[in-house]
Amino acid sequence: MLIRVAFKNLMRNPRRTATVLLTVAMGSGSLFLFHGFNAGIMNQYLENTVHSRYGHGQIQTSGYRETVYEKPWEHWITDWESLKNRISKVEGVTHLFPRVEFFALLTNGKITVSGRGQGVDGVQESQFFTTLNVEQGATLSDQPDGILLGKGLARALDVKIGDRVTVLGNTIYGSMNAADLTVVGVFHTGSKDFDDVVFRIPLQQAHTLLDTDRLESVALGLASVGDWAKVEAVVKAEFPTLEATPFAVLDKVYYQHSVDWLGSQFAIIQLIILAVVVLGIFNTVSTSVLERKQEIGNLRANGESSIQIMQLLSWEGVALGVLGAAFGILLAFFLNATLLRNGILMPPAPGITRQFHVLIEFQWSMAIGAFLMGAFSAMAGTVLAGLRVAKMPIGEALRSV
């Protein structure tokens, strides 16, 4: 009975009800959109790190990453085939990328600059590293004598697609060696320190240049970030001389520090938005109840008890909160599917030199949180304002304007 009367009361004054519903909807929807925006930025950082440089992590010999060796190649991976056969069978592993890194000189015959080379399996890496952002030419794939240059390195050498570049380096035995390669593309990751010095060549060319068949590291591509624990467990149990390191540790400065900093900043902004939203909903709902002093006074005069009035107002608050919050969540989904379907173009973020689109990425946990916040705020505002009115003397309530 009370529930039916509560809904009739809401329909009796559609303007006031619509105002409260819109306030709750805007508050819940705004908080939901902000959560989705935060998730989109965090995932953009993750995607840029995973699919441009490190994969989901890499395997190296134990202690290699944190130790400086006079002859680092003596600590490289030797048994690549057995490692590949075992790790490729781990659930969630989709790609394996054998690599070697080395320092070398690059020259076009007139200009000579130093760079950091990466010998990679071009065919495999071209399928996974999709945010490498090749802005000229093509990515390194099956070209046997191709070289892919970072944007800053290509500018320093003053070369274009199709030009010849000679890579000069030392073999592991100390003698000089060279490789004549053709520029197939120019890339940029958004990280200036990386783009100014790095170049990529086929793994076979790197092995020939260094005169070795060892691997410095093996990067991995996984079905999801959550699969990394399985890889780590297998490496620890079956390859005691190796260690697996996730991408967040490998790129602590760019990825982890940026995510931690943004997370703290967003937490403060979220608290401010939450406070404004809750107070706005609370104020609107409370005002709508206080405007009904005469109505509540008449109910009291007709014999309704304070408890019955509070029950009636509580059901109205629940209805306003649930309907308003649900409408706000649906409105946020609608906006994301229409006006925001291509994301929001953002200026360069910390550690990035290019603009990027942030997609609003919703999660059900966010929807539940925003819904509960809106519903609870509306109900709390109704109950607290109702308590104040229900306790007023009947005569004072009837004389209210």
- pLDDT tens-place string over residues 11-70: 777 777 788 788 888 888 888 888 888 888 888 878 878 887 889 999 999 989 888 888
Residue with more model confidence, 216 or 381: 216
pLDDT digits (tens, 9 = 90+) for 229-258: 999 999 999 999 999 999 888 877 666 677
Q: 330 with 27: CB under 8 angstroms?
A: no
Are 196 and 303 within one domain?
no
Are 36 and 105 within one domain?
no
Q: 162 with 149: CB under 8 angstroms?
A: no
Are 95 and 197 within one domain?
yes
Q: At what angle do helices 293-301 and 306-337 cross, to 10 degrees?
A: 140
State residue 279's pLDDT score.
73
Are 10 and 109 within one domain?
no
pTM of the model: 0.73
State residue 357's pLDDT score.
75
pLDDT digits (tens, 9 = 90+) for 341-383: 888 887 776 556 667 778 888 888 888 888 888 888 877 777 7
State residue 216's pLDDT score.
94
Are 274 and 145 within one domain?
no
* Within-domain flag for 249: no
Are 188 and 281 within one domain?
no
Q: State the average pLDDT over residues 185-206.
A: 89
Q: 323 with 22: CB under 8 angstroms?
A: no
* Within-domain flag for 251: no
Q: 370 with 28: CB under 8 angstroms?
A: yes
Residue at token pair 């109900």: 379
Element (H, E) at 81: helix 80-87
Are 275 and 344 within one domain?
yes
| pLDDT above 80 for 327 | yes
Are 75 and 221 within one domain?
yes
State residue 1's pLDDT score.
59
Structure tokens at 24: 């709750």
Are 209 and 297 within one domain?
no
Residue that terminates a domain, selected from 240, 264, 279? 240
Is 276 strand, coil or helix?
helix
State residue 118's pLDDT score.
94
| pLDDT above 90 for 276 | no
State residue 210's pLDDT score.
95
E-assigned strands of 154-282?
Answer: 164-170, 176-187, 198-202, 217-222, 242-246
Q: 185 with 223: CB under 8 angstroms?
A: no
Q: Where are the alpha helices (DSSP H) in 50-141?
A: 80-87, 122-128
State residue 17's pLDDT score.
76
CA gap 236, 77 in Å, rounded: 15
* Within-domain flag for 18: yes
Query: Count H helices, E strands: the chain?
Result: 14, 12
| pLDDT above 90 for 94 | yes
CA gap 6, 95 in Å, rounded: 60
State residue 14's pLDDT score.
78
Are 289 and 364 within one domain?
yes
pLDDT digits (tens, 9 = 90+) for 113-130: 999 999 999 998 888 988
* Within-domain flag for 57: no
Residue that terminates a domain, selected from 214, 240, 266? 240
Number of domain units in the chain: 2
Instruction: Report, in angstroms and rounded to the nearest whole number, the Rg of the chain calculated over CA atoms.
Output: 31
Determine the structural domain holding residue 298 and report its residue range: 2-49+256-399
Are 204 and 94 within one domain?
yes
Is 302 strand, coil or helix?
coil
* Within-domain flag for 364: yes
* Within-domain flag for 91: yes
Average predicted confidence (pLDDT) for the chain: 84
Residue with more model confidence, 10 or 168: 168
Q: Which amino acid is at 150?
A: G
| pLDDT above 90 for 307 | no
Residue that terminates a domain, selected from 209, 240, 271? 240
* Within-domain flag for 342: yes
CA gap 33, 226 in Å, rounded: 25
pLDDT band at 397 (very low <50, low <70, confident <90, very high): low
Cα torsion angle, 152, 158, 164, 168, sign: negative
Most confident of 62-66, 200-204, 269-273, 379-383: 200-204
CA gap 373, 278 in Å, rounded: 8
The DSSP 8-state label assigned to residue 51 in this structure reads I
Q: Which amino acid is at 37?
A: F
Q: Which amino acid is at 298?
A: N
| pLDDT above 70 for 162 | yes
Are 231 and 268 within one domain?
no
Q: State the average pLDDT over residues 155-164.
A: 93
* Within-domain flag for 54: no
State residue 399's pLDDT score.
67
